[in-house]
Amino acid sequence: MNATTAEADVIIVGGGLHGCSAAYHLAAKGLKPIVLEKHVVARHASSASAGGVRRLGRHPAEIPLAQASLELWHRLGDMLGADGNFRPSGQVRVAENEAELAACATRVGETRALGYDFEELLDRDALRRTVPAVSPHCVGGIRVARDGYAFPFKATTAFRHKAEELGARILEGAGVTALDRAGERWEVATGRGRLRAPVLVNAAGAWGREIASMLGDTAPVKPTALMMMVSDRMPHFVDPTVGAMGRKLSFKQMQSGTVVIGGGFEGKVDHATELTELDFRQLAESATNAAAIFPIMAKARLVRCWAGIEGVTPDDLPYIGPSKAAPAAFHSFAFCGHGFQLGPIVGSITAELIVNGRTNLPIEPFRVDRFA
């Protein structure tokens, strides 16, 4: 690989969920893509992720994609031969007072008006039936039945392995340092030699801005450390993944009994080392939120805290679609803390754009030049 320049049909920069999903969908269409990953597959957001498969509360622009992605999640096992531990145990968002319940009703109304009926308003009793352990002060909420969660590392490796089986290659330890358009081909310099391909995909996550700027696209991204914590095993007490209207919370009990708590609290990113530092003042607030909605959690022992680096954009929406500055280059990065659910479909959109030159899903809101 080092001496000569290797050839592929498509070069994918970044071996997270989005890079592996693109590799799978391209390979399934008969192309030979190669994924260039700086470290190892799923080193960053795609293993640190909370793994929520959630349409509930999504930005209207993301809903059509999320709808299509959910159908792929339900078929993941058939498609990939491994289901990434996807469990459709539902998603719930809790209202703690009448004002929040009113906001729930408004939200459900808005999604209905757009033509989607997946969100269901819960009154006090319905909430208690769905989430018996919820704090007595909670008055209702929203539920989405077919949503759920999966194991991020397993889902990412499921795409990776199926892609490889279909002829894709994965090169780890191959950070992309430079890009060149030579005639009809992209030529890419990596830590493990040079590669050439007619088409390039930028799936570099929080580092996608650097690849975009090599292509000539200006796409602002703030690398952000999203923090999580997990408790010791507890007796089973909740099925759906739970969030809250008035607090930053993402809460789920895994089959093993451990409880995973997040909600978008930020730690610090060390750019040079790509490591993160936790902020325990912020985590204290995260713990407060978890215990407020689930009083049973106050006594739960924390086993581990961590953070993953995710790219966040000014409007909290990702960059998806063709480069505006360069030919035959496509973006799929900066998913702002909610790109796990979108992984299966965005890889498919990218493959469609490359193979068919178009997609039926509305990706205009995710244009790379929307801030230029």
Ligand X SMILES: Cc1cc2nc3c(=O)[nH]c(=O)nc-3n(C[C@H](O)[C@H](O)[C@H](O)COP(=O)(O)OP(=O)(O)OC[C@H]3O[C@@H](n4cnc5c(N)ncnc54)[C@H](O)[C@@H]3O)c2cc1C
The item of another protein, ligand X, none sharing an interface with residue 171, based on CB under 5 to 8 Å by kind, is none
Q: Where does this chain touch another protein (CB under 8 A) — which range of 91-99, 209-217, 293-301, 354-362?
A: 293-301
Q: What is the DSSP letter of 232?
A: P
Nearest to 54 by CA among 149, 127, 122, 120: 149
Q: What residues contact residue 103 under an 8 Å CB cut-off, 6+ apart?
A: 95, 245
**Beta-carbon count within 10 A of 162 CB:** 21
The item of another protein, ligand X, none sharing an interface with residue 339, based on CB under 5 to 8 Å by kind, is ligand X
Give yes or no for residue 99 binding another protein (CB under 8 A).
Answer: no
The CA–CA distances, whole Å, from 267 to 34, 224, 225, 306, 318 equal 33, 8, 5, 9, 21
Read off the tokens for 161: 């392995």
The item of ligand X, another protein, none sharing an interface with residue 368, based on CB under 5 to 8 Å by kind, is none
Q: Where does this chain touch another protein (CB under 8 A) — which range of 61-69, 70-78, 80-88, 291-299?
A: 291-299
Q: What residues contact residue 196 under an 8 Å CB cut-off, 6+ apart?
A: 5, 6, 7, 8, 182, 185, 186, 187, 188
Closer to another protein by Cβ: residue 274 or 315: 274
**Beta-carbon count within 10 A of 186 CB:** 22
**Beta-carbon count within 10 A of 304 CB:** 11
Residue count, binding to another protein (CB under 8 A): 29
Residues forming contacts to ligand X in the complex (CB under 6 A) are 13-19, 36-39, 43-46, 48-52, 54, 175-176, 203-207, 226, 228, 250, 262, 308, 310, 333, 335, 337-341
Applying the rule CB under 8 A, the residues between 200 and 239 that interact with another protein are 231-232
Burial class from Cβ neighbours inside 10 Å (0-12, 13-18, 19+) for residue 321 reads: buried
Closer to another protein by Cβ: residue 57 or 167: 167
Nearest to 166 by CA among 58, 268, 32, 258: 32
Sign of CA dihedral 360, 63, 207, 304: negative
Q: Please give the Cα distance from 51 to 148 (Å, whole number).
A: 9
Closer to another protein by Cβ: residue 75 or 304: 304
Selected binder of another protein within 102, 302, 327, 356 (CB under 8 A): 302
The helix (H) or strand (E) run that includes residue 127 is helix 124-130
The item of ligand X, another protein, none sharing an interface with residue 291, based on CB under 5 to 8 Å by kind, is another protein
Give yes or no for residue 290 binding another protein (CB under 8 A).
Answer: yes
Q: What residues contact residue 352 under an 8 Å CB cut-off, 6+ apart?
A: 25, 358, 359
Give yes or no for residue 305 binding another protein (CB under 8 A).
Answer: yes
Nearest to 200 by CA among 171, 217, 220, 179: 179
**One symbol per residue from 154 to 173: x for binding another protein (CB under 8 A), - otherwise; what is it?**
------------------x-
Applying the rule CB under 8 A, the residues between 35 and 54 that interact with another protein are 40, 42, 47
The item of ligand X, another protein, none sharing an interface with residue 19, based on CB under 5 to 8 Å by kind, is ligand X
Give yes or no for residue 291 binding another protein (CB under 8 A).
Answer: yes
The item of another protein, ligand X, none sharing an interface with residue 158, based on CB under 5 to 8 Å by kind, is none
Give yes or no for residue 98 binding another protein (CB under 8 A).
Answer: no
Closer to another protein by Cβ: residue 59 or 304: 304
Contacts to another protein by CB under 8 A:
40, 42, 47, 153, 172, 231-232, 261, 275, 277-278, 280-281, 283-284, 287-288, 290-291, 297-306
